[in-house]
Chain A
Amino acid sequence: MFETNWMEKWQGAVNSNGPMSWIGKHFTADFLFGFGDTQYQVSFREGKLVSFSDEIGPETCYGLAIRGPAETWTKFCQEVPPPMYNDLWAMAHPLHGRLTLEGDQMLLWQNMRALMWALDRMREI
Chain B
Amino acid sequence: MAKIEPITGRYVWVPYEGEEYRIFFEEAGEGIPMVCLHTAGTDSREWRHQLCDAAINKNFRVIALDIPRHGKSIPPYDWYKEEEEYKLTAKFYSGILMAFCDALELDKPVIMGSSMGGNICLHLAKNYSEKVRSLIAIEACEYSPGWHLDWLRHSHIHGGETSATSVFGLMAPQSPDKYRWETWWYYAQGGPGVFKGDLYFYSKDHDFREETEKLPGDVPIYYMTGVYDFACTPEMTEDTAKKTKNSECIIMEEIGHFPMSENPELFNSYLYPVLDKILAQS
Contact = CB atoms under 8 A, between A and B. Distances in A.
B28 to A, nearest CB: 33
Contact of A105 (B151, B161, B168, B227): B151
Interface in B167-190: 168-170, 172-174
A90 B169 contact: yes
Interface in B151-173: 151, 154, 156-158, 161-162, 164-166, 168-170, 172-173
Contacts of B233: 84, 95
B71 to A, nearest CB: 22
A1 interface: no
A94 B146 contact: yes
B173 A80 contact: yes
Contacts, number: 61
Contact of B156 (A94, A96, A106, A116): A106
Interface size classification for chain A: 20 to 34
Interface in A99-118: 105-106, 109-110, 112-113, 116
A109 B146 contact: no
Chain B binding surface, main DSSP class:
loop
Contact of A80 (B161, B165, B174, B227): B174
B267 interface: no
B192 interface: no
B230 interface: yes
B157 A87 contact: no
A45 interface: no
A58 interface: no
Interface of A: 80-81, 83-84, 86-90, 93-96, 105-106, 109-110, 112-113, 116
